[in-house]
Amino acid sequence: MTHYPHPIIAREGWPFLAIAIALALGVQFGFGLVWSLPLWIVAVFVLQFFRDPARVVPDVPGAVLSPADGRVIVVARSFDPYAGRDALKISVFMNVFNVHSNRAPVDGVVAQLNYFPGKFVNADLDKASEHNERNALVIRTPEGATVTCVQVAGLVARRILCYVHAGDTIVRGQRFGFIRFGSRVDVYLPLEARSAVSVGEKVKATTTVLASIAG
């Protein structure tokens, strides 16, 4: 199955890209190409930041897919404060060069969705999970497992976007949100889940299997 919800560029980026190109063109026509080059570099950065490529969902039973592109920074036992349980925590850090679309890690129903205002410390730090602005989805799978997926703002991220609501049914690979600009996503799994990644590993949203759960 391929999820391709937006044509090449995420819808969140269209206004930014339009402004960047308009400014670059205005300076180029008014002052020449040399003066406009810095603005064209900015436009290229905006274009790559808001890219939203199609992704193929692996056909792997019980797989928990990565909800984001980036680098794994945590694989450890932890406490899931949103579902109130001990859990296996896997965190993915996104830098400004990663794709920032967030995609559902499992099939299921969004049992809870809670937004928490907070700080904007470096998302690579452990305390970001507790102190930064964040949005938590608690998902119940058809098999009865609980998977919590938390969007966490970072040092320069100032906007968490989420397009699902409590009670919605989601499917693996479905695009559910976006974070601007540089952030992390925490995934809390049942303790019996088996991690398929290690700290330092680079992952891609939807295509990388983070872990497997039996039910």
Residue 22 one-letter amino acid:
A
**Tokens representing residue 187 in the block:** 């995934």
Which of 66, 91, 129, 183 is an active site residue?
Answer: 183
What lies within 8 Å, CB to CB, of 184 at 6+ separation is: 68, 70, 73, 91, 92, 93, 94, 123, 124, 128, 129, 152, 154
Would you say 108 and 170 are in contact if contact means Cβ atoms under 8 Å apart? yes
**Phi, psi angle pair for 15, to nearest 5°:** -65, -40
Q: Choose among 205, 191, 178, 128: nearest CA to 16.
A: 178
Q: What does the alpha-carbon distance between residue 33 and residue 21 come to, in Å, rounded to a whole number? A: 13
Tell me how many degrees the CA angle 7-12-17 measures, rounded to the nearest 5. 80
Task: Confirm whether 212 is a catalytic residue.
Answer: no
Sign of CA dihedral 6, 66, 107, 80: negative
- Burial readout 6-26 (b: 16 or more C-beta within 10 A, e: otherwise): beebbebbeebbeebbeebee
* Residue corresponding to tokens 């002052």: 31
Active site residues: 183
